[in-house]
Every structure is written in C-alpha cells, then in structure tokens.
Chains A and B, each alone.
Chain A
Amino acid sequence: MDAPPSSLAFGVDPELRRRARERLYVGCQVAGWLFFLLLQLLFVQLFTASPNHGGTVAASGQAVAIGLLLTHVARRWILRWGWKELGWRALVPRILGMALALSAAWMVTTYGLYYGLLRNPWPQKYHPLAILSLALVNGTVLMAGWLCIYFFYHLFDRYNRLQIEQLRLLAAVKEAELRALKSQINPHFIFNALNSLRGLIDENPARARQAVTQLANLLRYSLQSGHLETVPFEDELNTVNDYLALEQVRHEDRLRVRLDVAPEALHCLVPPMLLQTLVENAVKYGIAPRREGGEIAVRAWCARDLLRLEVTNPGTLAANGGSTGVGLRNAGERLRLLFGDHATLQLREDPPGRIVAAVGVPLEAAAPERPAEARRPAPAMASRPV
C-alpha cells in the first residue's frame, strides 16, 4: 500500500520492506501507548489521592486502548487520502483538524464508556464542561503529537530514499558513459585490421601505408567524437569510407560497396558513429558469415525535414540479430535521447534476402550547435574505397 517505485532504490524486495515497516509501526504503537499508560498510572499514583486504584487503572487502560485504536484508524485514513505526499503547508491544518477530531472521538468514547455504559460515579468536585474541555485540549495535543511523530518518521524516510536514488542515478550515468566509450572502439575489428595490414606490407607497400592512415583516422574519429552530440555528415561518411576500405583489405572481393549520397546531405548534422554502427552491423551480419560475401549499399538523401540514411546488406531478419543487437539498440537509444520521437530507426527485409537499416534524423533539430566544435575540418587524408 505504501511502496513507491523508489523503494526499489534499496535493491530490496518491496514486499519485504513493507512487512518490515508494518512490524516497526506495530512495535512503536504498542511501546508508545504502553509508555503513555505507565506515565498516566504513575501520575495518578503520585499526584492524586484517588481511593479507587483498580478503577483508575481500568479507566486508564481503556483510554489507552481506545487511543491506540483511534490512531490506528487514523493511519489508515492518512494512507487512503495520500497525506504522506503533501507538503507541510497543506499538512499542518490537516494535522490540527484530525487531532481535534480524534480527540473529540476519544473523549466521547472513553467518557461515554466509563461514565455512561459502566455507570461509574461522576466525580462531583469538578464541573463536567471543565473536565470535558480539558480532556479535549489534552487529547488534541496528544493526538497532534502522535501525528507529528508519524509524519516526521516518513519525512526522514523519504529523504533517505531520495538520497540513495540520487546516488544510484549518478552511478548509472557513469556506467552509461563508460559503456558508450567502450562501444566506440571495436577491438575485434582493430586487431583483424592490423593483422591484415601487416600482411599487406610486403605484398603492396603503398596500399599498406594507405591502410595505416585510414586506421589512424578511424581511431581518432572514434575517440574524439565520443563527446560530441552531432557531427557533420561529411565527416561521418569519410570515416565510414575509411572503415569500409579497411574491411575490403580483409575480405577482398567478398565485400563490395555501393555509395549513393546526395550532395545536400553532406552538410547535415548527425550523431557521431551512427552510420558507422549501421555499416559495422552490415559487415558483421551480411558479409563476414557468407563465404561468397555480398554487396553493402549506403544511401543518404534529404526528404522533407529529415536526413534519411539507408544501409543495405545481404541477409535475413532472423540471421541479422533483429533489432535486438547491441549496436542497433545503442543507436536507437542515442537517437531517442537526442531527438525523442522525431528520429526513426527501422530494420526491414526488403527485398527478401536483403536487410535494410533505415534511419531518419530531423534536420532542424541540429540547429543549436556549438559552431566551433561541431565543424571540424574534414580529415585531409581520407580516401574513397579501393
């Protein structure tokens, strides 16, 4: 009943927490009211000369029992009316009101029970109204006190939970940053590329030199673009070309590339490594597992206010890992974070045997940019695929 979502911040089962809190509540109620009863009895013992000890104990006992019951019922109403979520401005009048109501109820039941039902003799010394008003005031104060203790406990509890939640979020952010950084660099690709490169040195030194440059460009872009929100599409395309050139060194004629980029698309701003991720996926699922390899097609064009990117590779949806592959999932996440619903990412098989990863990136959403950072000079040594 009172397990807000952030109870999971503790990492504890909410059911266990709820039960622990019930036990705490019951314990406090019993202990508190017993203490109150003892105080009452002590007070009566020390300061009043009442002849009817047994009766006084009984009366006090009844009052305490009724008080406990009333506060228990009050707690249910507090929960039902959702008072725990209120600010103190709304809470103060409510506390006072409830304290008064509870006190009145308390008074009526205890006095009614003791003097009315049980027909105990009324102490003649005091005027009934005086006694009743005094009882009302005392009761109100007591009830208000009870309510304050209750709300204070919850206040501290909520504060603690918020702190834990905050720390957890901080940790999650750090972890996400780390994962993002790690996912920029694909070690499998790098070491394979280096291995091929080494093989190329004797066979074709000029091509080997070119490959070193391409690899260096790729690594530099990968490392530096990590903290940019967007980059010019031209830069991203240069990187993708370098990457494909290196993959062609490895796979030779198993990898064929077709590029179809509209000139106006070059100036658009895109999240870095987006196209790169799609192309890596295409090679991983479309070329590497096939003995005969295949063709990867990259298309980019502007339509309405979207930059549209399409990467096509041979394969089937099932074999492609679907949209549950990590690379595609990350790309989707980043698009969602940057553009919300305005960006689209879709994987489809069309025609059968060809997988198309299609992305739509809004054009004007790229407007508020830090001009100096966003426009890096295009890599001078970038080359087209061999």
Chain B
Amino acid sequence: MKALLIDDERLARNELRRLLAAHPGITVAGEAADADEARALVAALRPDLLFLDVQMPGDDGFALLESLEPPLPRVVFTTAYDEFAVKAFAFNALDYLLKPVDPARLAAALEKLAAPGGAGGAPADRPARLGPEDKVFVREGERCWFVELKAIRLLESEGNYTRLHFDDVQPQLFRSLNAMEERLDPRAFFRANRRQIINLAWVDRIEPWFSGGLLVHLKGGAKVELSRRQAQAFRDRMSL
C-alpha cells in the first residue's frame, strides 16, 4: 500500500516513518507538512492510505479531506490529545492513532485496512465514476463521517452545496449537485429533478402524480417529485 504522511511536525513524521518500517506492506510514498502540499501529493501520487494529523496550520485535517475529490484513500487520523477530535472519531468509528503512537495500535489499525471492502483499489484503474462502496468525507459542525455512497438515500442541491441524506443526518457537502452527478454511477443514482438526485436502491414505492409525473417514496420517508419528462426517463431506467 502506498502511504502519505501528513503532519506539520517533522519529528512526528519521522516517528511514523520509523514505526512503519516494521510493516513491509506499507511504502511511504511521500510526506506533506500542510494541506496544500498534501493536496498536490495526493493528486500526483494517488496514495492508498493517508496518515493525517488533525491539527495543522492553515487547513486542518478535516478541511483537507473535504476538499479532496472522491474516491478517497483510506485515512488514519493522528492526534496528540484533542478531546473533541477523539470524541468525533469514537462516535463515527473512524480510525485514529494517539500520539505518541503505540506500535501495537498501529499494527491493529493496519490490519483493519488490509481487510477487504475498502476503497483502496490500485490507483491506475480507479474508475471515473464512483461505485456504491466508495466513501465520501463529510463534516458538519463537530461531527464527521466517511459515508459509503450506497448509504446515501438522497442528494439535494443547496446552492454550491449538496445536502446528503443518510442514516438520520443530513450534513452538507461542499460540492454542487451537478459536480456530484458527474461522478455518480447513473445506474445507481437518478437525477429526479433540478434539485434532487435519488439512490435507486432506496426507492420504496411509486405513485402517479400531477401532469403525468410520478411521486417517488424513498425508504426513510422522503418524497421526491418527478416531472413528466423525468418520469419517462425513470420508467426507462427501472425497466432495464
């Protein structure tokens, strides 16, 4: 696995590099001291794994993740002691390491990554379209998630943002709906109207609506209106 070390402290990066030497499966492809350097390296090297310090000058770890184009590499956060961050991670079961890093904890985290089901595909053949297992990083206030696309029922446009509906939350993603549509697999996600994209796997039932349109009920309660034209496209899609 190709890894990128992102931490503003040189010694912290050294430490991590030294610890990772004991894991031959992981190659440290590069180091970044801040979010800008990290963005450049992620684009150039397409790493499978990021070791990401939460607190950095300029953009912090979360802001960096929000700005990366999906699909995201796997991420292991590192933090010295940040009550908020630790809580957020525990809440979302995201993986994190406390500095100074305990070698045993590092080994456990790496083992979890080796398990199948991650978004760590070989960089060369990363598809242009995102699959249902690919994850998106989204943050709202004190909470953050790595959410699999298949868990997102509905995407709603709010200006330059998109509101994602999954589980019982609706955080905003700093990406426009159109930008999202370009990345989503059209076999799984359908543009229902100007403001909404629905996940076809979450369709509960459909009823006829005004002027030849349709009202789609999603599992979870949302109702989405389709115009007549979209309804036709929808029928075409569903009967495939």
CB-CB contacts of A289-314 with B at 8 A, as 1s and 0s? 11100000000000000000000000
- Cβ distance B56 to chain A, nearest Cβ, rounded Å: 9
Whether a CB of chain A sits under 8 angstroms from the CB of B15 is: yes
A195 B15 Cβ-Cβ under 8 A: yes
Residue from A199, A289, A290 in contact with B12 in the complex, judged by beta carbons closer than 8 Å:
A199
Identify the closest chain A residue to B13 (Cβ).
A199
Q: Max chain B CB contacts within 10 Å: which of A190, A251, A290? A: A251
Q: Which residues of A contact B57 (CB under 8 A)?
A: 288-291
Whether a CB of chain B sits under 8 angstroms from the CB of A341 is: no
Q: In A189-205, which residues have CB < 8 Å from any B CB?
A: 190-192, 194-196, 198-200, 202-203
- Cβ distance B31 to chain A, nearest Cβ, rounded Å: 13
B58 A289 Cβ-Cβ under 8 A: yes
Expressed in whole angstroms, the Cα–Cα distance for A307 and B14 within the complex equals: 43
Whether a CB of chain B sits under 8 angstroms from the CB of A89 is: no
- Cβ distance A87 to chain B, nearest Cβ, rounded Å: 51
Residue from A188, A192, A252, A288 in contact with B10 in the complex, judged by beta carbons closer than 8 Å:
A252
B81 A199 Cβ-Cβ under 8 A: no
Expressed in whole angstroms, the Cα–Cα distance for A288 and B12 within the complex equals: 15
Whether a CB of chain A sits under 8 angstroms from the CB of B34 is: yes
Expressed in whole angstroms, the Cα–Cα distance for A190 and B101 within the complex equals: 14
- Cβ distance B13 to chain A, nearest Cβ, rounded Å: 8
Identify the closest chain B residue to A193 (Cβ).
B80
Whether a CB of chain A sits under 8 angstroms from the CB of B186 is: no
Expressed in whole angstroms, the Cα–Cα distance for A187 and B79 within the complex equals: 11
A192 B9 Cβ-Cβ under 8 A: yes
Expressed in whole angstroms, the Cα–Cα distance for A173 and B44 within the complex equals: 57
A203 B99 Cβ-Cβ under 8 A: no
Q: In A239-262, which residues have CB < 8 Å from any B CB?
A: 249-252
A250 B11 Cβ-Cβ under 8 A: yes
Q: In A171-230, which residues have CB < 8 Å from any B CB?
A: 187-188, 190-192, 194-196, 198-200, 202-203
Identify the closest chain A residue to B36 (Cβ).
A291
B82 A188 Cβ-Cβ under 8 A: yes
- Cβ distance A210 to chain B, nearest Cβ, rounded Å: 15
Expressed in whole angstroms, the Cα–Cα distance for A222 and B99 within the complex equals: 22
Residue from B15, B82, B98 in contact with A198 in the complex, judged by beta carbons closer than 8 Å:
B15
Expressed in whole angstroms, the Cα–Cα distance for A194 and B81 within the complex equals: 12
Q: Max chain B CB contacts within 10 Å: which of A199, A250, A252? A: A199
Q: Which interface class (under 10, 10 to 19, 20 to 34, 35 or more) fits B?
A: 20 to 34
B11 A199 Cβ-Cβ under 8 A: yes
Identify the closest chain A residue to B12 (Cβ).
A195
**CB-CB under 8 A for A191 and B80, given A250-B11, A291-B57:** yes
Q: Which residues of B contact A198 (CB under 8 A)?
A: 15, 100
Expressed in whole angstroms, the Cα–Cα distance for A289 and B8 within the complex equals: 10
Whether a CB of chain A sits under 8 angstroms from the CB of B205 is: no
A191 B98 Cβ-Cβ under 8 A: yes
**CB-CB under 8 A for A191 and B12, given A288-B57, A289-B57, A291-B58:** no
Q: In B34-58, which residues have CB < 8 Å from any A CB?
A: 34, 55, 57-58
Q: Which residues of B contact A190 (CB under 8 A)?
A: 80-81
Expressed in whole angstroms, the Cα–Cα distance for A21 and B55 within the complex equals: 55
Q: In B58-99, which residues have CB < 8 Å from any A CB?
A: 58, 80-82, 98-99
Expressed in whole angstroms, the Cα–Cα distance for A5 and B81 within the complex equals: 41
B100 A250 Cβ-Cβ under 8 A: no
Residue from B8, B18, B33, B100 in contact with A191 in the complex, judged by beta carbons closer than 8 Å:
B100
Name 29 interchain pairs, CB-CB below 8 A, sorted by A. Answer: A188-B80, A188-B81, A188-B82, A190-B81, A191-B99, A192-B99, A195-B11, A195-B12, A195-B101, A196-B9, A196-B11, A198-B15, A199-B11, A199-B14, A199-B18, A200-B11, A202-B18, A203-B14, A249-B11, A250-B9, A250-B11, A252-B10, A288-B55, A288-B57, A289-B57, A289-B58, A290-B57, A291-B8, A291-B57
Closest 6 CB pairs of A and B: A199-B11, A191-B80, A195-B99, A195-B100, A192-B80, A187-B81
Query: What 15 additional pairs, Cβ within 8 angstroms, besides A191-B99, A203-B14?
Result: A191-B80, A192-B9, A192-B12, A192-B80, A192-B99, A195-B12, A195-B15, A196-B9, A196-B12, A199-B11, A199-B14, A250-B9, A251-B9, A252-B10, A291-B33
